Structure formats: C-alpha cells, structure tokens
Structure 1
Amino acid sequence: MPSLPLFPEAPAGLSAKALRAHERLCAEYGCPIPWFRAQDPLSELVSALLSHRTRNASTGAAFRQLRARFPTWEAVRDAPCVEVQEAIAEVTWPEQKAPRIQQVLRRITERRGGDLSLDFLGELPVREARDWLEQLPGVGPKSSAATLLFSRLRKPALPVDSHHHRVAVRLGLIPESTAVGPAHRLLEEQLPPDWDAQRVYDNHEALMLHGQRCCFFREPACQRCVVLDLCPTGQARLASQQGSNPVGDTEEENPRP
C-alpha cells in the first residue's frame, strides 16, 4: 500500500518540476545518500525535540550527555526536571525542552499502557503513524517525519527543514508565504506514491544540502546552481544584477557575489 502522497495530488506541473529538480540535485550530491544514523524511533523523537532552533552539533552533544547521565528513557521520564535540564544545557531553551521531553515520555507511557517505546509505529501506515505522533505535545510535522524516516523504522515520511524549505520556495514549488509546517503537506504531494524511504530521504537531503552549500539564506550562489534554469528566483536575481551594471563596466569591476 503506497505511503505517499499523504494528501490529494499536487498539480502535475509542480510534480514534474519537483522531480526534475530532485534528479538534478541527486546527481550533484551523490544519491543514494548514506543514512546518517539508525537509532530507535523514541531516541529519534527525543533528538527531534532537542533540535528545535539548535545547531546539529549542539543537539548531538546534548543527546549524548542525556544518555550518559540517564541509562534509560524511563530514567529520563522520572528524573527531577532540573537534572534533565542540566544534561541538555547545550541546546537552545533547555528550560523549556526538559519539561516538554518528560511530558512526551509520560504521555507515550500512558497511551501505550506502560510501554515506553515507539517501535510499534513500524506496523502502521505512514499517515496513521504521523497522526499518532502529532497528538503528542510539541510534536509537529517535521518531528513526526524525522522520527519515522531517520530512525531504524525507515518509513517514507518527508521532513522539511529550513534549508529544504528555502530551496523549495525559491524554486517555486511552494508559495513564499507557506510556513515550514504546512510546507510538509504541499511537498509530500509532489512525490511519487511508490517512492521508498531511501528516495524520500534523498529528496530531503539533496534539497537540504543545496540550501547549505549553494542556495544560501544571504547571497545565494546562483551563478553555479545546477537548477538555475528551474528557479525563477535565481533567474530574477541574476537578471537584476546584470541590469544594474553601468554600460562599459567589466565583470571584474562589478563581480557577482
């Protein structure tokens, strides 16, 4: 049974454009892209909760410190909140994330009749698994997708981070006014329904890597972009730069950023 799309079909033109961009970026960044880890889904969920507005290095350090201090997730759930906060001090807003993580762990325990595990999600269709996760406090589309895709469950759910979102907006795959949360639905609609977890992962990673290495927040490197011909934002930006050069100026005198 296909896991994607999770919502009604996207316009054919956008889907075709999304696939052309995917193929181009996959060639640029070397798909299939190796998985960066394979931890259990509960650990992946906690990582996702730690990662909000936090750099990856700080998230990883806080997660390792948390696991070093508490041998089990039950121990994290039942510890004094201040001790959990101390263990995750590397992240942004540890005073908010510590009680939220404990709240999520308690809610999972209650809903699962005392079993603090998310392994059962592997038996559910993607949409049902995401709905279950998104009923937990503070768990939105990005966290639910990351839990299912990045964990050892390897389920085809598409996360959208800020880099992925920026590239999609500039390519015209989603409207500029679309926030990251609602963007998950729109970008999922554009993926073929028979894609497995590896292809969904490649799509996320390739767009994310492009945002990190070329399509920067400030001063994107449009002149070396492999999807420039698909990108109305980049084309308009380069046209504007060229049009602003006075007659007779050389490229060396007015270099592109």
Structure 2
Amino acid sequence: MPALALSISPDLQAKALEIHRRLCGHYHCPLKYFHTIDPLSELVSSLLSHRTLNRDSGMAFRALRERFADWEAMRDAPVAEVQEAISACTWPEQKAPRIQQVLREVTARGNGVMSLEFLRDWPVAEARAWLESLPGVGPKTSAAVLSFSNLRGRALPVDSHHHRVAARLGLIPATMAVGPSHRVLEAQLPEEWDAQQVYDNHQVLMRHGKDTCTWRAPRCGACILLDLCPHGQARLGMAGSQGLAEQASDQPV
C-alpha cells in the first residue's frame, strides 16, 4: 500500500523550488542521464555502490560483466567467484551472496524469469514498494533502479551528498537519516514534475555537495545558496544566523 502523502508547508516547498532553480541554472538543466542500462543491471550496480566510491563500484560492475555471460550465470556461479570479481568494492564478502540472493528472489517471483521490465508499467509507488521488499533494498536503491535505468521513472534518489546539502539548507531536520529523507524531499517537489525534473533535482543537489557544500571545509563564501542556508550563515558568523539555525532544526515537513 502506498504511503500516505506528506503535508509540506508552502514556505518549505517554495524554498526547495528556489534552490532547484538556482542550482539548475548553475549546472545547466536538463542534465543528460549518466547511463542507459536495463533495470536489473541497475539493481546490481546500485547494490554494489553501497558505501563504495563510484570509481570502485564501477570497476566491480565491469568485472562482473566481463567474467559472466549474463546475470543468470552470475546468479548461479560459486559465491567465491562473484566475491573475487567484485573485490574492488567494499565488503565483497557480504555483497556477493546478497546480490545472488536478490537475483534468485527476482527469478522466483518472476516464475523462473529474471527480469524487472514489468515495472515499466507499474505506478512508481508500487514499483518502489516491490523493490524494497527484496532483501537489502532500501529507498535509495529502489529510486535508483527506477530513475537511473532505462525505465526513467519519476523517483528521487538521495545519496550522502544530496542528504548533507538538504540538511544544511534546512530542507530536512539535521537528525533525519538518509532513508526517511527520501519521502520528505520527494514530497517537496511539485506533483506535475516529470522524471527528468526529478532526476535533475537529485543531480544538482548531489553535484553541489561534491563541488561546494563538501563534508570537510565547505566553500560557504562562494555558495550561490548562502542566503538560504542557515548552516553556511552560522559558519560565517553572519548576523541572525543562530536564529536561522534553530528555525531549520525545528522546521516542519
């Protein structure tokens, strides 16, 4: 059953849209999708990427492609072979059996057919719920499968960069974990937005987190969102920043 819709304050949504507008101007939206692969391949790729640098998970994904003829062959291979192939990513000893388990579950639910193409015709909320019922699949992975694959679904992934920027800007409470933040941040976006606009929103916030709003030593003085950011204003000692920071921590969603 789809989750009940969240009530987002008009002021918070207006702030989210202004942030999107500025960042899209800076990064020149609409942005090109960074790859085009089928949803099952995106599921494998996303599971490899957990707590792993993109460079390393990409190496692991390519190694699987080179070693095994297809995902069926990888599913049925000795787990030690899969673990060796994905050694570039973190925790290969955990990810290898988990990915094989997920692929076996997809096959079982598909009555022997291992495919996620059927999700193309499903409402996004139902597709995400189905994906998140698989072992080890959470909101970020379900959104990635729908958005990043050639399904091009209207789903908002939230990675660590996106989450950090949103928290510092006061779009979500500072104490909110990444998982629950997916629903809150997606609810801030207009219902009429299409998949490209939702994808752009993730990409520009993520890129801003990599380029400017970095974990260590964020470049607040050069930030085009500084006037909207209680965290940045507090770091720079701007007048009234303490009150803004307190308001952000108590911001209703």
Checking the alignment, whether the CA contact within 8 Å between 1:10 and 1:190 is kept in structure 2 is yes
* CA displacement, residues 153-206 of structure 1 (integer Å, 9 cap, x when unaligned): 000100000000000000000000000000001101100001111100100000
Note the aligned Cα RMSD (angstroms). Answer: 1.7
* Structure 2 runs not aligned, ≥5 long: 240-253
Aligned partners of 2:152 and 2:233: how far apart in 1? 37
1:144 matched residue in structure 2: 142
1:52 to 47, 50, 53: 50
Q: Name the counterpart of 2:168.
A: 170
Q: For 2:228 and 2:66, how far apart are their aligned partners in 1?
A: 47
The question of whether the paired residues in 2 share the 8 Å contact of 1:9 and 1:190 is answered with no
Determine if contact 2:172/2:181 at 8 Å carries over to the other structure: yes
Q: 2:30 aligns to what SS in structure 1?
A: coil
> Which structure's CA Rg is the greater one?
1
2:228 alignment partner in structure 1: 230
- Quickly say closer, same or farther: Cα 1:71–1:185, change in 2 above 3 A: same
Please list, as runs of the form range in 1=range in 2, the aligned pairs for 1:82-97 lying within 5 A after superposition: 82-97=80-95
Between 1 and 2, higher relative CO (CA 8 Å, sep ≥ 6) is seen in 1
- Equivalent residue for 2:74? 76
- The 4+ residue runs of structure 1 with deviation greater than 6 A are none
Q: Does structure 2 conserve the Cα–Cα contact (< 8 Å) formed by 1:37 and 1:151?
A: yes
Q: 16, 21, 24: which is aligned to 2:22? A: 24
Give, in angstroms, the shift of residue 6 of structure 1: 7.4
Paired with 1:6 and 1:36, the residues of 2 have a C-alpha distance of 32
Of 59, 64, 72, 1:61 maps to 59
**TM-score, normalised on structure 1?**
0.90
Give the TM-score taking structure 2 as reference length: 0.92
Residue 126 of structure 1, aligned match among 124, 127, 143: 124
Native 8 Å contact 2:39 2:149 kept in 1:
yes
Partners of 1:151 and 1:182 in 2: CA distance? 23
Give the aligned residue type for 2:132.
Answer: E
Figure out how many residues of one structure are paired with residues of the other and give that number. 239
SS in 2 for 1:191: coil
SS at match of 1:21: helix
